[in-house]
Amino acid sequence: MSTTALHPSPAAEVADDSVKLRQELAMERLRRQVYESVARHELLSHTLGTLIEMIERETPRLTACIVFTQESGDAVEPDGDGGHAAAGIAAVAGRGGDAMVADTVESAALRGSQWPASVELVEPLAVAPPWASGLLAESSTSAPDSSPVLWHLPLPGKDQDEAVVGSLVTLIGDAAPPDEAERSVATLAAELAGFAIGCARIADRAVRQLMHDALTGLPNATLLKDRLTQATEVSRRQNTTTAVLLLDLDGLRAINESLGRGAGDDLMRKLADRLQGGLRRSDTVARLGGDTFAVVGSIANGTRDVNALAHKVISLVTTPAKICGREVSVGLNVGVSLFPIDSEDPTELLQAAEVALHRSKTCGRNTVQFFKPQEESGGLAAMELETRFRRAVEFALMSQALGGDAGADPAGGKLELHYQPQVDQHGRVVGAEALARWTDPSLGRVPPDRFIAAAERNGLIIPFGRWALRQAAAQARKWRDQMGNRSPRVAVNVSAVQFADDRFIEEVSSVINTYHLLPGMLELELTETVLMQDADDAARRISTLRQMGVAVAIDDFGTGYSSLAYLHRLTIDTLKVDRSFVAGMSGERRGPGAPASGPLQGSGAAVTRAIISMGRSLGMNVLAEGVETDAQQQLLVRMGCDQMQGYLFSPPVPAEKFAELIALGNGVLPIPVAIARPA
The domain that holds 265 is classified in CATH as 3.30.70.270
**C-beta separation of 237 from 245 below 8 A:** no
Asked whether the predicted pLDDT for residue 25 surpasses 70, the reply is yes
Of 337, 371, 405, the last residue of a domain is 371
Whether 215 is covered by a domain: the verdict is no
Domain count, the chain: 3
For residue 177, is the peptide bond before it cis, meaning its omega torsion is within 30 degrees of 0?
no
Give the separation between CA 678 and CA 445, rounded to whole angstroms. 14
What is the number of residues in the chain?
679
Higher pLDDT, 385 or 105: 385
- Give the mean pLDDT of 286-313: 89
Range from 70-84, 226-240, 367-381, 509-523 that averages highest in pLDDT = 509-523
- Give the mean pLDDT of 656-662: 88
Whether 5 is covered by a domain: the verdict is no
Looking at the structure, tell me whether residues 179 and 229 fall in a common domain: no
- Give the mean pLDDT of 454-469: 87
Higher pLDDT, 383 or 216: 216
Model confidence at 273, in pLDDT bands (50, 70, 90)?
Answer: very high
- Give the mean pLDDT of 160-167: 73
pLDDT value of position 633: 92
Looking at the structure, tell me whether residues 183 and 242 fall in a common domain: no
Model confidence at 592, in pLDDT bands (50, 70, 90)?
Answer: very low
Looking at the structure, tell me whether residues 656 and 538 fall in a common domain: yes
Give the separation between CA 141 and CA 124, rounded to whole angstroms. 17
Least confident window among 95-104, 454-463, 496-505, 598-607? 95-104
Across the chain, mean pLDDT equals 79
Looking at the structure, tell me whether residues 204 and 59 fall in a common domain: yes
The torsion angles phi and psi of 524, rounded to 5 degrees, stand at -105, 130
pLDDT value of position 150: 76
**C-beta separation of 422 from 644 below 8 A:** yes
Asked whether the predicted pLDDT for residue 653 surpasses 50, the reply is yes
Looking at the structure, tell me whether residues 514 and 640 fall in a common domain: yes
Range from 8-17, 50-59, 512-521 that averages highest in pLDDT = 512-521
Give the separation between CA 312 and CA 326, rounded to whole angstroms. 24
pLDDT value of position 88: 45
Whether 674 is covered by a domain: the verdict is no
**C-beta separation of 412 from 391 below 8 A:** yes
Listed in sequence order, the residues at least 6 apart from 529 whose beta carbon sits closer than 8 Å to its beta carbon are: 496, 560, 561
Write b or e for each residue in 194-226: b if 16 or more Cβ atoms lie within 10 A of its Cβ, otherwise e. bbbbbbbbeebeeeeeeebbeebebbbbebbbe
Of 177, 209, 241, the last residue of a domain is 209
Whether 675 is covered by a domain: the verdict is no
Whether 444 is covered by a domain: the verdict is yes
**C-beta separation of 201 from 265 below 8 A:** no
Percent of the chain with pLDDT over 90: 33
- Give the mean pLDDT of 149-160: 78
- Give the mean pLDDT of 614-622: 90
Residue 395 amino acid letter: F
Asked whether the predicted pLDDT for residue 440 surpasses 70, the reply is yes
Looking at the structure, tell me whether residues 439 and 483 fall in a common domain: yes
Asked whether the predicted pLDDT for residue 245 surpasses 50, the reply is yes
- Give the mean pLDDT of 222-237: 91
Percent of the chain with pLDDT over 70: 76
Q: Indicate the burial class of 373 (C-beta count within 10 angstroms; 0-12, 13-18, 19 or more).
A: exposed
The torsion angles phi and psi of 346, rounded to 5 degrees, stand at -55, -40
Whether 610 is covered by a domain: the verdict is yes
Asked whether the predicted pLDDT for residue 339 surpasses 80, the reply is yes
pLDDT value of position 305: 85
Least confident window among 358-367, 511-520, 543-552? 358-367
pLDDT value of position 113: 42
Higher pLDDT, 384 or 81: 384
pLDDT value of position 96: 46
Instruction: Look up the CATH number of the domain holding residue 76.
Output: 3.30.450.40
Listed in sequence order, the residues at least 6 apart from 435 whose beta carbon sits closer than 8 Å to its beta carbon are: 417, 418, 419, 420, 448, 493, 652
pLDDT value of position 318: 93
What is the three-class DSSP state of 653? strand
**C-beta separation of 202 from 194 below 8 A:** no
pLDDT value of position 6: 53
Asked whether the predicted pLDDT for residue 104 surpasses 60, the reply is no
Whether 100 is covered by a domain: the verdict is yes
Higher pLDDT, 115 or 543: 543
Give the separation between CA 74 and CA 68, rounded to whole angstroms. 10
Residue 191 amino acid letter: E
Asked whether the predicted pLDDT for residue 591 surpasses 70, the reply is no
pLDDT value of position 432: 96
**C-beta separation of 492 from 464 below 8 A:** no
Looking at the structure, tell me whether residues 408 and 358 fall in a common domain: no
Measured N-to-C along each axis, helices 376-401 and 346-362 cross at an angle, to the nearest 10 degrees, of 90
Least confident window among 135-149, 317-331, 481-495, 602-616? 135-149
Which residues are paired to 423 by β-bridges? 429, 644
pLDDT value of position 377: 52
Give the separation between CA 16 and CA 20, rounded to whole angstroms. 6
Model confidence at 8, in pLDDT bands (50, 70, 90)?
Answer: low
Terminal CA-CA length for the chain: 125
Asked whether the predicted pLDDT for residue 350 surpasses 80, the reply is yes
- Give the mean pLDDT of 506-513: 95
Among residues 167, 187, 166, the alpha carbon closest in space to that of 55 is found at 187
pLDDT value of position 478: 94
User: What's the Rg (C-alpha) of the chain?
Assistant: 38
Listed in sequence order, the residues at least 6 apart from 451 whose beta carbon sits closer than 8 Å to its beta carbon are: 385, 389, 436, 438
pLDDT value of position 180: 86
Which residues are paired to 335 by β-bridges? 246, 369
Model confidence at 87, in pLDDT bands (50, 70, 90)?
Answer: very low
Give the separation between CA 554 and CA 519, rounded to whole angstroms. 18
**C-beta separation of 625 from 582 below 8 A:** yes
Handedness of CA 113, 119, 125, 130 (dihedral sign): positive
Of 209, 241, 275, the last residue of a domain is 209
Please state, as a whole number, how many other Cβ atoms lie within 10 Å of the Cβ of residue 77: 10
**One-letter-per-residue 3-state SS of 342-407:** CCCCHHHHHHHHHHHHHHHHHCCCCEEEECCHHHHHHHHHHHHHHHHHHHHHHHHHHHHHCCCCCC
Looking at the structure, tell me whether residues 494 and 419 fall in a common domain: yes
Model confidence at 558, in pLDDT bands (50, 70, 90)?
Answer: low
**C-beta separation of 230 from 236 below 8 A:** no
Which residues are paired to 69 by β-bridges? 89
Higher pLDDT, 166 or 636: 636
pLDDT value of position 525: 95
Least confident window among 79-93, 470-484, 516-530, 547-561? 79-93
Higher pLDDT, 208 or 437: 437
Whether 365 is covered by a domain: the verdict is yes
**C-beta separation of 365 from 332 below 8 A:** yes
Looking at the structure, tell me whether residues 201 and 242 fall in a common domain: no
Q: What stretches of 120-179 show up as alpha helix (H) in DSSP?
A: 130-138
DSSP 167: E
| Upper half-sphere CA count for residue 88 (Cβ side, 13 Å) | 10
Write b or e for each residue in 44-58: b if 16 or more Cβ atoms lie within 10 A of its Cβ, otherwise e. bbebbbbbbebbbeb
Looking at the structure, tell me whether residues 539 and 485 fall in a common domain: yes
Give the separation between CA 564 and CA 122, rounded to whole angstroms. 87
Least confident window among 139-143, 163-167, 206-210, 318-322? 139-143
Give the separation between CA 472 and CA 484, rounded to whole angstroms. 17
Q: How far is CA 354 from the centre of its chain?
A: 16
pLDDT value of position 588: 41
pLDDT value of position 559: 61
**C-beta separation of 433 from 420 below 8 A:** yes
Looking at the structure, tell me whether residues 149 and 252 fall in a common domain: no
pLDDT value of position 100: 46
Among residues 355, 375, 250, 237, the alpha carbon closest in space to that of 298 is found at 237
Range of the domain at 173: 26-209
Model confidence at 419, in pLDDT bands (50, 70, 90)?
Answer: very high
Give the separation between CA 195 and CA 178, rounded to whole angstroms. 23
pLDDT value of position 216: 93
**C-beta separation of 188 from 30 below 8 A:** yes
The torsion angles phi and psi of 411, rounded to 5 degrees, stand at -95, -35
Q: How far is CA 339 from the centre of its chain?
A: 26
Give the separation between CA 633 and CA 646, rounded to whole angstroms. 10
Which residues are paired to 420 by β-bridges? 433
pLDDT value of position 162: 65
**C-beta separation of 458 from 382 below 8 A:** no
Q: Is the pTM of this model over 0.75?
A: no
Instruction: Look up the CATH number of the domain holding residue 544.
Output: 3.20.20.450
Asked whether the predicted pLDDT for residue 229 surpasses 50, the reply is yes
Asked whether the predicted pLDDT for residue 156 surpasses 90, the reply is no
Model confidence at 14, in pLDDT bands (50, 70, 90)?
Answer: low
Looking at the structure, tell me whether residues 341 and 410 fall in a common domain: no
pLDDT value of position 2: 45
Beta strands in 251-364 (DSSP E): 284-289, 292-299, 321-323, 326-328, 331-339
